[in-house]
Amino acid sequence: MGVNLDKPEKWKDDIARSVDLYNDWFLNFAPKTYRVERGKATEYVKTMLDRTDHLRNLSPNELKERPSILFSLRMSTVPPLARDRLVGLAGVPKSLVNSMELEDRLPTMMKATELDDNLRKIAEMITRLADIDIFPWLGEKRRPTDQEVYRAATIVADRLCGANADPIIRNAQEKRQLSRIEDWLEKRGYRNMTGKISLEDMGPGVFAFRLNVPGLKEDGATVNIPVDAVVMPAKAKRGTLPLMIEAKSAGDFTNTNKRRKEEAAKVIQLRKQHGKGVRYILFLCGYFDGGYLGYEAAEGIDWVWEHRMDDLSKFGL
């Protein structure tokens, strides 16, 4: 018997309550979260401007030392450049741009001469397309005032945060959800062992966040599956598998239905590795409609709504 997956008569009311909870959080906390991130981004952009002599001397060496500044540089052009657009205009490998932005590193297999040539092309293209309405000193060939630098940094920071708005909100929501799970567990005597324990070492009454749990792919290859929260029930017997919890939040119904196969794929890989005894549930807040819930229920995946957290106890916690 399930906790929520087999009670469709309750889904409509729970969906409405979940949407209300998410909207209340968004209206009261998301703007503050966004402002904090924008402040951090402004300082980051100011540092980038200082290091490049306010874009008057953007060198390949600077890109070598700080590969990830490429994102800020793309947001400094007119129009702001998409990653693929920069690749096409500069005539550089996509793998180089992805490594710089997403991993803050340079490709290890690229020859030094080729790397220098590609970084020079990127620097030249950014300099050529730099937005002189944001950076008026470039067109006037002079040093900027402090006020101009700050104004430019805030504009580019707005562009950065605008491009990253969804991840900023999603990360803040995930952090809040895990904090609620932590509070709930610790009030019941569970110990947080994040970073200090592996799946094999988990004893009764402990939990860990973002724990890598081994799974098996279709081809038999082992894959590490990051699980948001892994909890070993306080009364668990030897050989019992812990409860695995995936925190999920969503600000609209469309994206959840696009992502609903992700959990099913994880469960399949976990079951291949650990057997049918795997207990994997979702911790939901936000826009999850009947189509999403029905899909997960059909895959044997149960869930707990954040507005009714005490349902966690029904999973043996």
Q: What is the pLDDT of residues 256-266, one digit of tens each?
A: 766 778 888 88
pTM over 0.85, yes/no = no
- State yes or no: pLDDT of 281 exceeds 90: yes
Residue 206 pairs in a beta bridge with 191, 232
Q: What is the pLDDT of residues 135-161, one digit of tens each?
A: 999 989 999 999 899 999 999 988 888
Q: Which of 38, 108, 112, 107 is nearest to 75 (CA)?
A: 38
Q: What is the mean pLDDT of residues 194-210?
A: 91
Q: What is the pLDDT of residues 5-17, one digit of tens each?
A: 999 999 999 999 9
pLDDT at position 45: 92
Token look-up 């690229």 returns 110
**CATH class, range 8-29+167-315:** alpha beta
Q: Which of 164, 230, 243, 154 is nearest to 196 (CA)?
A: 230
CA dist., res. 37 & res. 34, Å (int): 5
Q: Which residue has the higher pLDDT, 255 or 192?
A: 192
List the chain domain ranges. Answer: 8-29+167-315, 35-165
Q: What is the mean pLDDT of residues 92-113?
A: 91
CA dist., res. 108 & res. 99, Å (int): 10
Average pLDDT taken over every residue of the chain: 90
Q: What is the mean pLDDT of residues 81-109?
A: 92
Asked, as a colleague might, if the bond just before 79 is cis with ω within 30 of 0, I would say: yes
